[in-house]
Amino acid sequence: MTLKALIFDVDGTLADTEAAHLAAFNESFQSMGIPWMWDVPTYKGLLMVSGGKERMRHYWASSDENAAAIASESLSATIETLHRLKTAAYERLVAEGFVTMRPGILPLIEEAIAAGLALGIATTTSAANVSALLSKAIGPEWRAQFQAVEDASTAPSKKPHPQAYQQVLQCLMVEGRDCMAFEDSENGLRAASAAGIPTIVTPNAFTSDHDFTGATKCFPHLGEVHLVDIEALHTKIFD
């Protein structure tokens, strides 16, 4: 079986983004005068809920005290405003260099392009977040390097639903077994697996305690992993 494409998650996989997202959420709460302040343990738990708006709604519903901070009749509008403010704060943090790409990611992308492999992105984050990150890391021409990009705007069914991966496969015109996915979270692994894609997991400080049963391989990062290693793992699966 020949490897034809690599498909990447974004947050926590391409880059260490979660600390910046957490800071941006808290900044948006403060700017709206909402008495929420998420700490790291709280945010780690909330990462089991995919999507920023969904995370806020889940947190709002988790206790009477949280519900009292935002009236139910204004919840949807408030969350929309909070998410807009949070996205702007995150983009600023990325521009200021607060977010770094994870080890080995950019060299692996370069190797894949040189080898003629297709590249895809399957994420539940917003298109604005993807563009902010990759424009900073790769440059304004980043989009030309990825033949398929599915994000929250095009794949509204969030992980662990496989919609984003299924749509990337359709766009690339490949089968799941032709690809390798890269994820950092349990929901991401479940989404890729449901689409029939072998998956390499690189956990981070926010997802290290997730259940990665079924992953093709777990690495702490890709700093010492090259395309030849990924091709060997892919071949081994289908021996």
Could you tell me what percent of the chain has a pLDDT over 90? 98
Tokens of 142: 């980043």
List of domains in the chain: 5-16+100-237 (3.40.50.1000), 18-95 (1.10.150.240)
> pLDDT tens, 131-190?
999 999 999 999 999 999 999 999 999 999 999 999 999 999 999 999 999 999 999 999
Residue 20 — pLDDT band, cuts 50, 70, 90? very high
* pLDDT attached to residue 239: 75
- Pairing, β 148-150 against β 199-201: unpaired
Asked whether residue 95 carries a pLDDT value surpassing 90, the answer given is yes
The amino acid at 157: S
> pLDDT tens, 44-56?
999 999 999 999 9
For the chain, count helices (H), then strands (E): 10, 6
* pLDDT attached to residue 21: 97
Asked whether residue 227 carries a pLDDT value surpassing 90, the answer given is yes
* pLDDT attached to residue 136: 95
Q: Give the contacts of 180 (CB within 8 A, at least 6 positions apart).
A: 3, 5, 6, 7, 197, 198, 199, 200, 216, 230, 233, 234
Averaged pLDDT, 43-68: 95
Rg (CA), the chain: 18
Helix (H, G, I), strand (E, B) or coil at 229: helix
> Which residues are catalytically annotated?
9, 11
Residue 1 — pLDDT band, cuts 50, 70, 90? confident
The mean of the pLDDT values for the chain is: 97
Instruction: For the chain, report the end-to-end CA distance as a whole number of angstroms.
Output: 8
Helix (H, G, I), strand (E, B) or coil at 179: strand
Asked whether residue 42 carries a pLDDT value surpassing 90, the answer given is yes
Averaged pLDDT, 224-229: 97
Asked whether residue 229 carries a pLDDT value surpassing 90, the answer given is yes
Helix (H, G, I), strand (E, B) or coil at 120: strand
Asked whether residue 197 carries a pLDDT value surpassing 80, the answer given is yes
